[in-house]
Amino acid sequence: MKNIYLDNAATTPILPEVITTITESMTHSYGNPSSIHQIGRKAKSLVETARKNIAKHFNASANEIVFTAGGSEADNLILRNAVTNLGVTTIISSKIEHHAVLHTIKNLEKEFNIVLNWVELDEFGTVNYSHIETLLQKDTSKKLVSLMHINNEIGNLLDIKKVSKLCCDNDALFHSDAVQVVGHYEIDVNETPIDFFAASAHKFHGPKGVGFAYIKKGYGIYPMLHGGKQERGARAGTENVHSILGMEKALEIAYLNLEEDTKYIQNIKSYFINELQHNFEGIIFNGCSESETKSSYTILNVRFPKEYAMLLFNLDLKGIAVSGGSACQSGSNKGSHVLNAILHENEQFKTSVRFSFSKLNTIKEIDYVIKNLKEIL
């Protein structure tokens, strides 16, 4: 049986070069970066060099990068600090954000009685930018806008420059979950003055359990985890040295080959779209995922014309790994909160599948998927 992995929005395979970097670090750079002896200082130097190199990819300063255990922790750290430390009393967001944002802001609402305002969405999941402006001008409260740059289920691209300008013009803070963006698109924090964003290494062929928060210079951060003074006091706990170095290596490779990889993956996605349309009647693409300009080249969300209750199971039996919505809610029978927010209730029962691609996929794999879809359906 073949193994065809088309669930790269959930996680990506670790590149061999990254595994080598991690292994070498675990073997030779095992010191605690807080220790003052040579072995500890070596580990500290490697972590700080990684911080500088990661920051350079975004035209940021090293002290604006805080290492975390992943994107979810980064989102939590940023959003909680916005309320507890920076005086935010109103958060503007959308109902199709990742649960790392949705659950966090809903808990902040309960805990601190902040105001939550939801941005209007159309049937494709596109935010209403005029409504963002209206909400920003609604009152004089201190506001933060939290909107993800790329939606992890339907691939929609946010016009991040437009939102950034709206926030600047209205003296609001701007946070974006950029987990699906980092390593796949360029981000320049000087060109697009975003205040905060979150990233996770395992979305760009790095290790799981490590990521970072970008926090614009000048915003003090209180830790959620208390203990030592690691990460300049922003996050207690001994640094995950080998994973940080693995993330640095994965990001270096991602941006070194970005243009070539983007074209290659977009070609695979376009080919898959054409094959689906040619072989199946009634196929619909959720959100803007069919578009080359409004959607990420890595994500395609397909709605089939009726319910196929065992489709994911049968694809798995053929060695094809895909996702029904978001992998973060696998095992849930509630369906995708993203699709439930944008689809008419008559469409919600139909089977939707998220296919997500990487540079490790091939056209031959797509042919294999089409062949098996035809047999199953």
CA atoms within 13 Å, Cβ hemisphere of 357: 28
168 annotated active-site:
no
CA distance 236 to 305: 50
Beta strands (DSSP E) in the chain are 4-5, 65-68, 90-93, 115-118, 143-146, 173-177, 196-200, 211-215, 284-285, 299-303, 320-321, 352-356
Question: Phi and psi dihedrals of 120, rounded to 5?
Answer: -65, 145
Inter-residue long-range contacts of 324-331, CB under 8 Å, 24+ positions, other chains counted: 324/351, 324/352, 324/353, 324/354, 325/153, 325/352, 325/354, 326/10, 326/98, 326/99, 326/152, 326/153, 326/354, 327/7, 327/9, 327/10, 327/11, 328/10, 328/98, 328/99, 329/99
> So which residues are the catalytic ones?
328
